Amino acid sequence: MYEDKTLVCKECGQEFVFTAGEQEFYAERGFQNEPQRCKTCRDARKAATKATREMFTTTCANCGGEAKVPFQPSDDRPVYCSACYAAMKQQ
Statement to judge: residues 9 and 45 lie in one domain:
yes
Which pLDDT score, from 0 to 100, does residue 16 have? 97
- Give the residue numbers spanning the domain of 35: 5-49
Q: Which of 7-11, 18-22, 44-48, 79-83 has the lowest mean pLDDT?
A: 44-48
Statement to judge: residues 63 and 41 lie in one domain:
no
Looking at the structure of the chain, the number of domains it has is 2
Statement to judge: residues 44 and 12 lie in one domain:
yes
Statement to judge: residues 37 and 14 lie in one domain:
yes
- Its pTM stands at 0.55
C-alpha 18/C-alpha 72 separation (Å) is 44
Instruction: Answer with the residue of higher pLDDT: 54 or 5.
Output: 5
Statement to judge: residues 43 and 11 lie in one domain:
yes
Which pLDDT score, from 0 to 100, does residue 9 have? 97
Please determine, for residue 41, whether its predicted confidence score (pLDDT) is greater than 90: yes
SS3 of 11-44: CCCCEEEECHHHHHHHHHHCCCCCCCCCHHHHHH
